[in-house]
């Protein structure tokens, strides 16, 4: 049985940290088994890296992506192991969309772990280090950000665009380094409260990722995709899809298209969702979701205590 008013959401890059999920690993056999399965798929001890590695190593895109996918799937399996019921709908932020599709039964876990490692490699290699940048813009209207980025491009500074619509008043821009710098200056002048460079070395979700998309298309063509058992709202168009070929196409388009997170959350609310469980390390999405719709109740699963609280919270008035 699905909980009709509950959504599960899965975080993307930025939620990783050395030492995460330690208590969950001790508490749940499902978490231990999931990390063992990922380690076997990739040929290295992922749990040792997560607990004892350097943060810089964990932050490498080709490492971060399989680690976060594994963490999210591990917590989903722990949720089910502890008697938690399935949600009515799922969504994931960027990489998290792959986690959602695994948990919805559309992607095989081992296939997905290998696929997102490749995705990370493709994304990192699409633009030489130093030539691309991203920045978070706080406190300015979405349309104004889009318009100013277009003006910077028209002025010949290079490519820059709004790429993550994370919540009203919080948008990430990305593109060529010089163009991002020019846009940051213009956005501050236009009244942005903050414009902060992000510690990433590639302009994710821009047209500069088209080469990565072409490579990913080849990799995605080689894996099986099934119709998801739970609707998954996609970043590209804020709708769910049942056709595996449509899902395959959206996973490729997503790599060079903006992440419409605000729209994804609004689409879930329109389906009657009032409780959202963040299935992965950290609480980044919970913070965004509250800014998108203050009526949403948010829960997280990273710690055993929070998993129990989430199970009790979503069961209340279900």
Mean pLDDT, residues 194-213: 90
Q: Is 82 exposed, middle or buried, given 0-12, 13-18 or 19+ CB atoms closer than 10 A?
A: middle
For the chain, give every domain's residue range: 2-126+208-315, 132-201
CB neighbourhood size of 201 (10 A): 18
Q: How far apart are CA 104 and CA 110, in angstroms?
A: 14
- 295 is known as an active-site residue: no
Sign of CA dihedral 247, 249, 250, 254: positive
Asked if residues 305 and 313 have their Cβ atoms less than 8 Å apart, the reply is no
For the cut 70, the answer to whether the pLDDT of residue 246 exceeds it is yes
Q: Do domains 2-126+208-315 and 132-201 have the same CATH topology?
A: no
Q: What is the pLDDT of residue 1?
A: 56
Catalytic option among 25, 93, 176, 205: 205
pLDDT band at 45 (very low <50, low <70, confident <90, very high): very high
User: 2-126+208-315: CATH homologous superfamily?
Assistant: Malonyl-Coenzyme A Acyl Carrier Protein, domain 2 (3.40.366.10)
pLDDT band at 318 (very low <50, low <70, confident <90, very high): low
Q: What is the pLDDT of residue 46?
A: 97
Asked if residues 71 and 281 have their Cβ atoms less than 8 Å apart, the reply is yes
User: 132-201: CATH homologous superfamily?
Assistant: Malonyl-CoA ACP transacylase, ACP-binding (3.30.70.250)
Catalytic option among 15, 94, 257, 300: 94
**Whole-Å CA distances, 272 to 212, 246, 278:** 36, 25, 17
Instruction: Check: pTM over 0.75? Answer yes or no.
Output: yes
Q: How far apart are CA 127 and CA 212, in angstroms?
A: 9
Q: How far apart are CA 225 and CA 176, in angstroms?
A: 34
Q: How far apart are CA 154 and CA 191, in angstroms?
A: 21
Q: How far apart are CA 257 and CA 259, in angstroms?
A: 7
Query: Facing residues of 194 across strands?
Result: 138
Mean pLDDT, residues 130-134: 90
Average of per-residue pLDDT values in the chain: 94
Give the rounded percent of residues in the chain with a pLDDT score beyond 70.
98
Render pLDDT for 136-171 as a digit per residue (tens, 0 to 9).
999 999 999 999 999 999 999 999 999 999 999 999
- 93 is known as an active-site residue: no
Q: How far apart are CA 82 and CA 102, in angstroms?
A: 19
Q: What is the pLDDT of residue 137?
A: 97
pLDDT band at 199 (very low <50, low <70, confident <90, very high): confident
pLDDT band at 232 (very low <50, low <70, confident <90, very high): very high
For 268, what's the count of Cα atoms within 13 Å in the CB-facing half-sphere?
34
* Tokens 């990913």 belong to residue: 216
């Amino acid at each position: 049985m699905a909980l009709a008013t509950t959504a599960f959401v899965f975080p993307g890059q930025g939620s990783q940290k050395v030492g995460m999920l330690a208590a969950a690993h001790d508490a749940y056999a499902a978490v231990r088994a999931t990390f063992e399965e990922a380690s076997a798929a990739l040929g290295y001890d992922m749990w040792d890296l997560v607990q004892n590695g350097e943060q810089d190593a964990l932050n490498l895109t080709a490492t971060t992506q399989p680690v976060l996918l594994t963490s999210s799937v591990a917590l989903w399996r722990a949720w089910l192991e502890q008697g938690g019921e399935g949600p009515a709908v799922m969504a994931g932020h960027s990489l998290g969309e792959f986690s959602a599709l695994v948990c919805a039964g559309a992607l095989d876990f081992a296939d997905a772990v290998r696929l997102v490692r490749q995705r990370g490699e493709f994304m990192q290699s699409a633009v030489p280090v130093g030539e691309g940048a991203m920045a978070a813009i706080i406190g300015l209207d979405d349309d104004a950000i889009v318009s100013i980025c277009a003006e910077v491009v028209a002025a010949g500074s290079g490519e820059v665009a709004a790429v993550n619509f994370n919540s009203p008043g919080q948008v990430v821009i990305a593109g060529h380094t010089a163009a991002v710098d020019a846009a940051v200056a213009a956005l501050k002048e236009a009244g942005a409260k903050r414009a902060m460079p992000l510690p990433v070395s590639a302009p994710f979700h821009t047209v500069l990722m088209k080469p990565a998309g072409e490579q990913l298309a080849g990799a995605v063509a080689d894996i099986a995709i099934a119709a998801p058992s739970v609707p998954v709202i996609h970043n590209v168009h804020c709708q769910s899809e049942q056709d595996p070929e449509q899902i395959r196409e959206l996973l490729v388009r997503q790599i060079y298209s903006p992440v419409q997170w605000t729209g994804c959350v609004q689409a879930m609310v329109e389906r009657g969702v009032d409780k959202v469980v963040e299935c992965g390390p950290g609480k980044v999405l919970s913070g965004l979701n509250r800014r998108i719709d203050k009526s949403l109740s948010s829960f997280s699963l990273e710690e055993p205590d929070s998993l129990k609280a989430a199970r009790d919270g979503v069961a209340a008035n279900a």
